Structure 1
Amino acid sequence: MRIALVDTDCDLANNSDTAVTYRVDALSICQTAPVVTSPTPGGTAGEELEGTATPGATVDVYLDGNPAPVCTVIADAEGNWSCTLPTDLEEGPHTAVITSTFPGAPQTSTTVDFIVDYSPPAPPVITGPTPDAVLDTQTPVLSGTATPGDEVTVYEGGTALCTTTADAAGNWSCTPTTPMAEGPHTVTATATPPGGTPGPTSAPVTFTITLTTTEPPVITGPADGAVLNTSTPPLSGTSAPGTVVTVYEGDTVLCTTTTNDVGAWTCTPAQPLEDGPHTVTATATDSEGRTSEPSSPSEFIIDTQEPDTRISRAPPSRGGNRTATFEYGASEEDVTYECSLNGGPFEPCRDSYDVGEGQHTLRVRATDRAGNVDSTPAAYSWTVELTRAFAGGGCSTAPAASWLALLGLLGLRRRKRG
């Protein structure tokens, strides 16, 4: 004996309180109510109604209480169905009743309200890439805005590049399914509402794809490791003629310039640099808008402070030594010293000076690696006094031999008198 058990709620659990005392072969038929997936309740319908039902079920669509269905279709193996609405259906609100009939099962139905609007959707807007952009990828992100839920297709000429759906905020983006060739490209987009037809085409956007890279510039000045005494040093180097060179310290732009016909460039920082070490790099941007990788870094030191000079060793302030020995020091390392003796010109210092009797003054100044010169030289004065063998009565000094001769003469005279 074969009995067909119709399970209208698709729940095959045995909920019967009556025991069956004979064996049967049971055939369960699961019949679900039809579902409308497009349009959504209260939404705007295009040319079709779409939904799901029991696979193989007969779906009838009735409009606005009319007893005759506007279409009858069979749900496919996945349960999907679609119904083309009459082309003369008036604009405005409508109510559809959808029934699903399956052999051996009771009929099920559902109701949906929708609006018919034949006005074309607003064209989408392409916001990316920006007009005239130069891109270094063959699969650029194409993006923009459209009516939420619309299906957006991006074209180049008659070729569809990619298709996507605008989200609840109206934003959409997609990438070409096939890499685009190098060169200029012009793209447009259309938006299609659910179940409707494509609307007008968007405004075109043109951009260029180029995979050729731009060589980084070369920084030639300041020389790597240089010590400079200016806070706005000229920054210079070479690059391809006509490229725009931008010099950075970290992420901060120091200056921007354009190379000349032979590829040389130079610029100075827009803001003074602080004293201390600095590391700069540069990039080059060609006429197509392609920007190179950063250049090799250049390191230098800014030092705008004068050194402070001191005399660390000097002769006694008064003495009889005609050779004066000096030692010098400064507030910085790696300095050179220049000395001026008794108001003379500054010239490289010596460790010692031979001077005559009298007062003397030595002035010394330091010059650091950056070329800063101490504007307030250190100074030291001392007096040389030579020792006299005899002095008094206004007589002048005489050599020792003369005195010995005189003493001998006096002794001779005394002996003669005796």
Structure 2
Amino acid sequence: MRRAATILSLVLLGAGLLAAGLHAASAPAEGWTEEERAIIRSLALNALPPQPADPSNWVADDPRAAVLGRALFFDVRLSANGQVACATCHLPERQFQDDVPLARGVGMTSRRTMPIAGMAHSPFLFWDGRKDSLWSQALGPLESPVEHGGNRTQYARIIAEHYRESYEAVFGPMPDMSHLPPRAGPVADLDAAAAWKAMAETDRYAVNRVFANIGKAIAAFERTVLPTQTRFDAYASALGSSGGAGILTEDEVAGLRLFIGKGECVNCHNGPLLTDNHFHNTGVPAAPGLPEDQGRAAGAKLVREDPFNCLGPYSDAGEGDCSELRFMAADGHELLRAFKTPSLRGAADRPPYMHAGQIATLADVVAHYNAAPAAPAGHSELRPLKLSEAERRQLMAFLATLNPKAEGQSRNGF
């Protein structure tokens, strides 16, 4: 009888434990509400939709163009001094950025290098959005006097001499450039600019077409650079099954709660790339010694005027395309010193921060958003958060969970 009672007790205990386990599995993990769980899952990498097509670049997803673009991305001959490539500032082993406040090419720039992963999802590029496609973005640094410092006929000749076969396999025959000056383009170099102005319009158009195709090939390669999985992604995915227990620490979970709640970070850093791809004035201080930077207020005008934009003569877009450019906000006080929201994926591991590297550490970034100082120009969107020291520490702990997993670094073949 005693043995039967013992067995019955064990059975009842097991049933109770099973019921408790089932209840725990069905209950919101870490005390999350269903709404909070939905927000967290929306931030996970597995919620990222396929890359949008780029109607302005007909070779955007052509593997041959990507192979050519990769070669061009690493080619230092595409510069004035033969020492600067796209990869000089966009280092593959460092999330395609360079860890310095201001990018350094043939000279010193006035902006921080932005990472590349996932940027095919962004309708506008650069901190001020002055370009509206990856291929158009790639062209800007090539002619910048402080980045690559070269010119259009120089680059077209490099293609003809070193990449003719692979270029023609993608884009068709190269134009005859034997009669063209070796260095010409609408650039800061006065001799090159004069030589460009003296060229026939048909020759300028032919060179521009090659120049645009250089950008389109580089863009095809950059579309293969994808964000990698993180511990946060594992946690967010597990919320639908095991609940994510043990994946994040208590502080990291608390930081996530602040991120989507009291910290208001998710207002701008949302979606699987942790950016809304919009432009915001967040009261970031001006960088000492640099010219005034108006941010989106200047970038909106530049993208409209760009001959290599989606509506331009070198775009492959159709009549009904380019809605982002057609309907963008072109002016307004809110654009002044508004800068693009950067992705927070991997951000904890790539100081310094902001558009000119003005803020040195992640702790300083959190302190800035907590204090919400007035903007040096325009109007800051921030308001004081009143986070305690412990809460700021927890928020930073969560941001570190967005760093790529070590084993994920090989995902893009680097």
TM tier relative to shorter chain: under 0.3
The structure where helix makes up a greater share of residues is: 2
The structure where strand makes up a greater share of residues is: 1
TM-score w.r.t. the length of structure 1 is 0.15
TM-score w.r.t. the length of structure 2 is 0.15
**Bigger radius of gyration among the two:** 1
